[in-house]
Amino acid sequence: MTVQDTTRTDTGAIRYEPQDGVLLEVEDLYVEFHTADGVATAINGVSFELRQGESLAILGESGSGKSVTAQAIMGILDMPPAVIPQGHIRYCGHDLLTMDEEQRRKTRGPEVSMIFQDALSSLNPVFPVGWQIAEMFRIHRGMNKSDALDQAIRLMERVQIPAARERVKAYPHQFSGGMRQRIMIAMAIALDPAVLIADEPTTALDVTVQAQIMSLLEELQEERQMGLILITHDLGVVADVADRIAVMYAGRLVEKAEVHELYRSPAHPYTRGLLESIPRLDQKGQTLAAIGGLPPNLMRIPPGCPFNPRCRMAQDVCRRDLPALREVAPGRLSACHFAEEVIDA
Amino acid sequence: MGTYILRRLLQMIPVILGATFLIFAMVFALPGDPLAGKCGERPCSAAYRAAFTEKYNLNDPLLVQYGKYVGKLATGDFGETYNQIKVSDQLKQRYPVTAKLALMAILFETLIGIVAGVLTGVRRGGFLDNLVLVSTLVVISIPVFVIGGLAQYFLGVKWGLFPVTVTSGEATVYQLLLPAMVLGSLSVAYVARLTRTNLVENLRSDYVRTAISKGLTKRRAIGLHALRNSLIPVVTFIGFDFGALLGGAIVTESIFNIPGIGGYIFRSIRSRDGASVVGAVTVLVIVYLVVNLIVDLLYGLLDPRISHD
Ligand SMILES: Nc1ncnc2c1ncn2[C@@H]1O[C@H](COP(=O)(O)OP(=O)(O)O)[C@@H](O)[C@H]1O
Ligand code: SF4
Ligand SMILES: [Mg+2]
């Protein structure tokens, strides 16, 4: 058991304090989907931590388990079919997985918050955007309608929505994609959460708008010293914002590193493949070296290293032994038998 | 919005004229002599026949007759039956009964249908879900005269839970309870299923996931966010159903002896009472069109993505 410096306020609500700067601690997490076809292990022993004021990017191809990780942290997985057979998700030392549901509900919004890829479908089409932001204040703070709406306007101004006061009663479909994502962000940061999870927040947007949303997130993260988890399948998007990167493959973390080190010298063949598939300005016209093959079926993950069928460096040992995630250089973790060679290459 | 309503109202005029003309022409084409049996056993005298023909414009061409009829209609005069009974008096007496019955049936189907739909949608596959599924299937597949007859026999005659028939001219709410439930039973099944299907779909939606991650209670995420969206098609269905029920319910009315508009039209057709048929149908067409307009406007209010400009 960790020591918990929990203090109770007069209302009986728990006050959460980071433990030595650690906000969130995911430890040996497993998530399975039990379906008619069988059991798919979507998250396979994932561990990482998020510190106050830190930006952690989670990178991986589509289907690698990034969203499921985020949903497990938020507690918004559909259970069933999802099952969490083991693991811990600690927020300020409190295990969210064993917390009672009412207590956990109260952490969503004021403590941990999330924005999604598709802001249009993520906002309720029949309520005005201001109302949807104000709902945070009304539910969690018991604020009256007009005060809550004032707060909503302030937030809409903060995320740079032009003419916020006039547009507070407008509906989601009346905004552009970028503006809608700003509204999602306003809603997510409304109660000043310590942790913000952004699941591919710019994937559905135009390139120019993508950059604007990313810099808004970066700005807010610095201003409020939030812990930010930035999920993406596109390394190019997060390079400027993230401090550290965790790379996922088939439900496992395969590499973890400080962002510039990872860029300079990836320690896992999969990461190297992802880096090589980023379009680069100085190599215009060259074809991208995408990683060949497909991620494994999660119901039949190959023995040994899950990446071995697609890996150009694969040896016999790769088809036999599962490589552990280990420290291969100071502050660098990789789950590859030949990580040292990859890093030096 | 204002211009939209005006446009819709103007569009109604040709529809009303067209519909009433069709009815008028059909009634006109009905075989049979309106004077048959009018003068006892003997055929009517030539003088009487002439006066009668003159009074009801029976010698004019169809279009002229229709024109004269519409002209009077515009001043609120629905004409008289051949027995000198004012059609408008008949309508005034019967239409409130039909409206009352329709309203009660709608209340019944809305209340029971939505509650059943929500309960089964939230707990899919449970006992209640299966019970409602089976009973709605039964209700949908049995014709209304069977349901009506059974309900009347068991709930009314045998167990005495409800009045068996309507005995007074204005039909009290109490007397209409059982008929309203019979009339609404088919729609209860539709409303329950429509609510359930839409709720299940919306529970999987991204914005409900957002609602949960905002820290809302399950009750609020489902009962407000998901349900508010799920009810849009349900309310629309109920609105159109109300329009249909306001047209009278011949079968239910005759089972329970209800003096409503459905039975009135039915009897008027059988007795070749043209003025009554055309008058009643005109009212029904207008009511139907107005209810449809209201439902369309309501739809726009419920779903901000629909715009009426
Ligand atoms: N509701 C579900 N039922 C079954 N399998 C699921 C479900 N949600 C996710 N998965 C599986 O979990 C794996 C990881 O998905 P996800 O986390 O969404 O990937 P991504 O990294 O693209 O966000 C996928 O292979 C997907 O098939
Ligand atoms: S362990 Fe082997 S197969 Fe896996 S990434 Fe390293 S070299 Fe490739
Ligand atoms: Mg995803």
Taking CB atoms and an 8 Å cutoff, what residues of chain A touch B214? 108-109, 135-136, 139, 187
For chain B, give the mean pLDDT: 84
Section A309-327 average pLDDT? 90
The answer to whether residue A34 neighbours chain B at the CB level (below 8 Å) is no
Whether A3 shows a pLDDT value over 50: the answer reads no
Give pLDDT, residue B79: 79
pLDDT band at A189 (very low <50, low <70, confident <90, very high): very high
Using CA atoms, how far apart are residues A21 and A43, in angstroms rounded to an integer? 26
B214/A139 touch (CB, cutoff 8 Å), yes or no: yes
Q: How confident is the model at residue A298 (pLDDT cuts 50, 70, 90)?
A: confident
Please state the rounded mean pLDDT for residues A144-157: 94
Contact across the interface for B214 and A108, Cβ inside 8 Å? yes
For residue A98, give every residue at least 6 positions away whose Cβ sits within 8 Å of its Cβ, in sequence order, or none.
none
Question: Does the pLDDT at position A283 exceed 80?
Answer: no
Superfamily of segment(s) B87-302? MetI-like (1.10.3720.10)
Q: How confident is the model at residue A10 (pLDDT cuts 50, 70, 90)?
A: very low
When CB atoms are compared, the residue of A114, A124, A136 closest to B225 is A124
- Distance in angstroms (rounded) separating the CA atoms of residues B305 and B307: 6
User: Which of B307 and A257 is assigned the larger pLDDT?
Assistant: A257
Q: Quick check: A156 pLDDT over 90?
A: yes
Query: Is the pLDDT at A289 greater than 60, yes or no?
Result: no
User: Quick one: what percent of chain B has pLDDT higher than 70?
Assistant: 92
What gap in Å lies between CA A168 and CA A166, rounded to an integer? Answer: 6
pLDDT value for B31? 61
In chain B, which residue's Cα lies nearest the Cα of A112?
B213
pTM listed for this prediction? 0.83
Ligand 2 centroid vs A228 CA: distance in angstroms?
30
Going by the DSSP 8-state scheme, the letter that residue B80 receives in this structure is: B
The average pLDDT across A293-318 equals 87
Q: What integer pLDDT is reported at residue B244 of this predicted model?
A: 85
Residue A293 has pLDDT above 60, yes or no: yes
pLDDT of B54-90, one tens digit each? 776 677 777 887 888 888 888 878 877 777 788 888 8
Q: Average of pLDDT values for B140-156?
A: 79
Average pLDDT, whole number, for chain A? 88
Ligand nearest to the CA of A328: 2
Pick the residue whose CA is nearest to atom 27 on ligand 1: A63
> Band of the pLDDT at B309, cuts 50, 70, 90?
low
Whether pLDDT at A104 is above 70: yes
Which bound ligand lies closest to the C-alpha atom of A341?
2
For residue B33, the model assigns a pLDDT of: 65
pLDDT in tens, B230-266: 999 999 899 889 888 888 788 888 787 788 888 888 8
Cα A174 to Cα A120, A125, A204, A303, B4: the distances in Å are 10, 10, 17, 51, 21
User: Which chain B residue is nearest to residue A169, measuring alpha carbons?
Assistant: B304
Q: Residue range B161-177: average pLDDT?
A: 75
Output the pLDDT for position A285: 47
Lowest-confidence region among A22-36, A331-345, B53-67: B53-67
Nearest to A74 among B213, B225, B305 (CB): B213
* CB crowding A142-161: b at 16 or more within 10 Å, else e: ebeeeebbbbbbebbebbeb
Decide if A139 and B304 are in contact by the 8 Å CB cutoff: no
Q: Please, where in chain B does CATH 1.10.3720.10 lie?
A: 87-302
Q: Which pLDDT value is given to residue A279? A: 63
Confidence of residue B278 (pLDDT cuts 50, 70, 90): confident
Q: What percent of chain A has pLDDT over 70?
A: 92
Nearest to B146 by CA among B287, B272, B255: B255
Mean pLDDT for the stretch of residues A270-290 = 67
The pLDDT of residue B39: 66
Please say if the pLDDT value at position A6 is more than 50: no
- pLDDT of A5 reads 45
Phi, psi of B226 (to 5 degrees): -75, -45
Question: Which of 181-210 (A) contact B at CB < 8 A?
Answer: 184, 187
pLDDT over 90 percentage in chain B: 21
Task: Provide the pLDDT for residue B96.
Answer: 86
Residue B160 has pLDDT above 80, yes or no: no
| The pLDDT of residue B177 is above 90 | no
Better-scored residue on pLDDT, B135 or B164: B135
With bands split at pLDDT 50, 70 and 90, how would you rate the model's confidence at A66?
very high
pLDDT digits (tens, 9 = 90+) for A230-254: 998 878 778 788 899 999 999 999 9
Tell me, yes or no, if A76 comes closer than 8 A to chain B by beta carbon.
Answer: yes
Which residue owns the Cα nearest ligand 1 atom 12? A42
| pLDDT tens, position by position, B11-41 | 888 988 888 888 888 877 666 666 666 666 6
Nearest residue of B to residue A174, measured between CA atoms: B305
| Lowest-pLDDT range of A152-156, A185-189, B102-106, B135-139 | B135-139
Bridge-based pairing of strands A244-249 and A55-59 is parallel
Q: Give pLDDT, residue A125.
A: 95
DSSP structure class, residue B40: T
Write out pLDDT tens, residues A113-150: 999 999 899 999 999 999 999 999 999 999 999 999 99
Residue from A41, A68, A298 to probe ligand 1 pocket by mutation (most atoms less than 8 Å from CB): A68
DSSP code, position B225: I
Residue B136: predicted pLDDT: 83
| Percent share of chain A, pLDDT over 90 | 61
User: Whole-angstrom Cα distance, residue A168 to residue A154?
Assistant: 10
pLDDT of residue A7: 45
What HEC string does chain A produce?
A: CCCCCCEECCCCCEECCCECCEEEEEEEEEEEEEECCEEEEEEEEEEEEEECCCEEEEECCCCCCHHHHHHHHHCCCCCCCEECCCCEEEECCEECCCCCHHHHHCCECCCEEEECCCHHHHCCCCCCHHHHHHHHHHHHHCCCHHHHHHHHHHHHHHCCCCCHHHHCCCCHHHCCHHHHHHHHHHHHHCCCCCEEEEECCCCCCCHHHHHHHHHHHHHHHHHHCCEEEEEECCHHHHCCCCCEEEEEECCEEEEEEEHHHHHHCCCCHHHHHHHHCCCCHHHCCCCCCCCCCCCCCCCCCCCCCCCHHHCCCCCHHHHHCCCCCEEEECCEEECCCCHHHHHHC
Residue range A1-25: mean pLDDT, rounded? 66
Given a cut of 50, whether residue A300 has pLDDT beyond it is yes
